[in-house]
């Protein structure tokens, strides 16, 4: 009887997880499974800036590093710039690290503490920290990727496409090997999302605040993924339109549209129980593996500042 119950639980778990994730339930099950999956270690609560929300977790592969170090990804989660905690996305860091990608999952300040563009300034600091610390952590600074889902996909897009944000840290987007956006809002003004409206001063939206505005410029290699049906972010207006613009400008673009995914399960598919939703993890890993190293590297990044932990 115990074995039968265990079998039925495993059989129903994917469905229960989909229902739970769609209802915005906690992702404790995904993270609990990730914590036992092995293949990585975690260094938590590492500060990339002086403020409480300027902290990240480092997921390091336990396998031997390749020559030059592991590829590195800095991941930003979604939540309409109103909510989110890096601890909720341990399953993303674990999945990538277990497959050989050194992964930094970063917090950033949220509304109402801040509005646009302060969360972009935080994101730029986190990415700059990754660029400067990559070699010390066992990563390859020339194989740096910035990645995000939903609102975090917006953050990643702006760092990769608009040089203003990394410029404040002494870096440029050309130091990146590429960037990865999953169901990000790249063209969304005016927005009917009540959570996002005050973040962007609705109806007085700031100029040059949408990734689509920078799509006509050649950028670093790009991976864009989205569900066919997304009730929160239009895959046609945002993902497909940005992919088209970037490709026309000469940017290498990989576009993937997933039939079984929703806005939420697109990122949930990084966890083993939801990988049946679509090969999102494999597609992202394939993009990372196939993307050449960046040819630009800021002088002096070989010497990194000491690591501080939040609260030190």
Q: Which tens digits make up the pLDDT trace of 95-110?
A: 999 999 999 999 999 9
Sign, CA torsion 75/270/284/235: negative
Torsion of CA 80, 84, 120, 189, to 10 degrees: 0
DSSP secondary structure, the chain, as one string = -HHHHHHHHHHHHHHHHHHHHHTT---HHHHHHHHTS-SEEEEEEEESSSSTT-EEEEEEE-SPPPTT-EEEEEEE--STTT---GGGGHHHHHHHHHTT-EEEEE----TTT--TTHHHHHHHHHHHHHHHHHHHHTEEEEEEEEEEETHHHHHHHHHHH-THHHHTTT--GGG-SEEEEES--SS--S---TTTTGGGTTTSPPTT-SGGGGTTS--S-EEEEEESS-SSS-IIIIIIHHHHHHHHTT--EEEEEESS--TTHHHHTTSGGGGGG--HHHHHHHHHHHSPPPS---TTTTSPPPPEETT-
Q: What is the pLDDT of residue 6?
A: 35
Residue with more model confidence, 276 or 3: 276
Preceding peptide of 232 cis, ω within 30°: no
What tokens were used for 125? 């600091």
Q: How far is CA 33 from CA 262, 271, 309, in A?
A: 21, 8, 26
Residue with more model confidence, 14 or 59: 59
Residue 279 above 70 pLDDT? yes
Residue 55 above 50 pLDDT? yes
**Binning pLDDT at 50, 70 and 90, where does residue 264 land?**
very high
CA distance 174 to 163: 9
**Binning pLDDT at 50, 70 and 90, where does residue 253 land?**
very high
Nearest to 42 by CA among 84, 134, 105: 105
**Binning pLDDT at 50, 70 and 90, where does residue 38 land?**
confident
CA distance 21 to 30: 10
Residue 33 above 60 pLDDT? yes
Residue 301 above 90 pLDDT? no
Q: What is the pLDDT of residue 81?
A: 98
Q: What is the pLDDT of residue 15?
A: 46
**Binning pLDDT at 50, 70 and 90, where does residue 218 land?**
very high
- pLDDT-wise least confident of 36-45, 95-104, 113-122, 153-162: 36-45
Residue 183 falls in which region: left (phi positive, over 0), alpha (psi -120 to 50) or beta: left
Across 261-285, average pLDDT: 97
**Which distant-in-sequence residues (6+ apart) come within 8 Å of 97 by Cβ?**
39, 40, 41, 59, 60, 61, 103
Q: Which tens digits make up the pLDDT trace of 232-245?
A: 999 999 999 999 99
Q: What is the pLDDT of residue 223?
A: 99
Residue 308 above 70 pLDDT? no
Q: Which tens digits make up the pLDDT trace of 66-87?
A: 999 999 999 999 999 999 999 9
Q: Specify the 3-state DSSP secondary structure of 28.
A: helix
Instruction: Return the percentage of the chain with pLDDT > 90, whole number.
Output: 82
Q: Which CATH architecture has domain 32-292?
A: 3-Layer(aba) Sandwich (3.40)
Nearest to 223 by CA among 160, 165, 166: 160
Residue 305 above 70 pLDDT? no
What is the overall mean pLDDT for the chain?
89
Across 211-216, average pLDDT: 97
What tokens were used for 239? 């993902």
Q: What is the pLDDT of residue 295?
A: 86
Q: What is the pLDDT of residue 237?
A: 97
- In the chain, what are the domain boundaries? 32-292
């Amino acid at each position: 009887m115990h074995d039968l119950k265990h079998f039925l639980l495993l059989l129903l778990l994917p469905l229960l997880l989909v229902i739970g994730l769609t209802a915005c339930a906690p992702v404790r099950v995904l993270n609990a499974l990730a914590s036992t999956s092995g293949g990585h270690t975690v260094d938590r609560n590492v500060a990339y800036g002086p403020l409480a929300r300027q902290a990240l977790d480092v997921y390091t592969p336990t396998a031997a590093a390749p020559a030059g170090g592991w590829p590195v990804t800095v991941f930003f989660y979604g939540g309409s710039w109103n909510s989110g905690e890096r601890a909720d996305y341990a399953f993303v860091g674990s999945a990538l690290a277990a497959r050989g990608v050194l992964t930094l999952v970063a917090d950033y300040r949220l509304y109402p503490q801040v509005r646009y563009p302060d969360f972009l300034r935080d994101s730029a600091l986190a990415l700059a920290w990754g660029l400067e610390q990559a070699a010390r952590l066992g990563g390859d600074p020339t194989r740096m990727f910035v990645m995000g889902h939903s609102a975090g996909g917006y953050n990643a897009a702006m760092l990769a496409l608009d040089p203003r944000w990394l410029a404040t840290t002494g870096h440029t987007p050309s130091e990146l090997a590429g960037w990865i956006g999953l169901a990000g809002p790249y063209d969304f003004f005016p927005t009917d999302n009540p959570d996002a409206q005050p973040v962007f001063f609705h109806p007085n939206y700031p100029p040059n605040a949408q990734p689509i505005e920078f799509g006509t410029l050649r950028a670093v290699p790009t991976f864009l993924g989205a569900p066919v049906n997304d009730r929160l972010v239009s895959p046609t207006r945002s993902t497909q339109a940005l992919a088209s613009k970037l490709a026309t400008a000469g940017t290498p673009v990989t576009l993937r549209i997933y039939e079984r995914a929703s806005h939420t399960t697109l990122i949930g598919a990084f966890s083993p129980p939801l990988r049946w939703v679509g090969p999102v993890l494999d597609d992202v890993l394939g993009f990372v593996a196939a993307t050449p190293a960046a040819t630009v590297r800021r002088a002096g990044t070989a010497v990194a500042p000491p690591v501080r932990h939040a609260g030190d």
